[in-house]
Amino acid sequence: DGIPAGAFGTWKEEKKHHWRADIGRELTAVESMKVAERLRIAAELRDRQREQRHQETAESCQQLWEEADPAPEDHPYLRKKQVGGHGSRISKDGKLMLPLFTSTGELSTLQYIAESGKKLFHSGGKAGCCFWWLGDLESGKRVYIAEGYATAASIHEVTGEPVVIAYNAKNLIPVTSSIRTMLPTRELIIVADNDESGT
């Protein structure tokens, strides 16, 4: 429409900025409505494409997960963290594989942990609001919710209680909300990391 505009930001810091070129005048009401409609259509298309990508990734991850072998207890990451495998699996290139499930129990994506401890999610997958758990969620008096696998495994091994893995600090609130809905009367204990960044 001859009015350059855009958006940019960073997911890491959850910042988003919009801009529109100065055309020397305010947009008319009709122009503003047309811009809003174009943005709405573009957002719907983006959301449909993202959902399609998430679905395709989930199907790929399901196949990878089913074909993977259980992680060996002597995997370097498990040895370094001094925890067991607890159902984790091993990728073809030797990375620890951890699943992320939706609140309805569908595999959404995978997290890979290298020997060095570097963590990556499967490209194109949906990790937000997704989680995994160690132990039986239906048993025990309480459920712990931790950020990462090693912390969750340590808690589970010491307490014997079920522990949910949220995978990152940003995911703690939505995952806790899902667990509260699933287990409305259970005591929930959140075990957040105390990162140097202050997160």
Give the DSSP letter string of 79-98. HHHT---TT-EE-TTS-EEE
pLDDT tens-place string over residues 101-157: 999 999 999 999 999 999 999 998 999 999 999 999 988 889 999 999 999 999 999
Residue, of 163 and 36, whose pLDDT is higher? 163
Contact 144, 157 (CB under 8 A): no
Nearest to 140 by CA among 177, 74, 187: 187
Backbone angles phi, psi at 87, to 5 degrees: 90, 0
Q: Mean of the per-residue pLDDT values for the chain?
A: 92
Rounded Cα–Cα distance for residues 54 and 183 (Å): 27
Q: Name the pTM for this structure.
A: 0.80
Both tokens assigned to 10: 């960073």
For residue 15, what are the β-bridge partners?
10
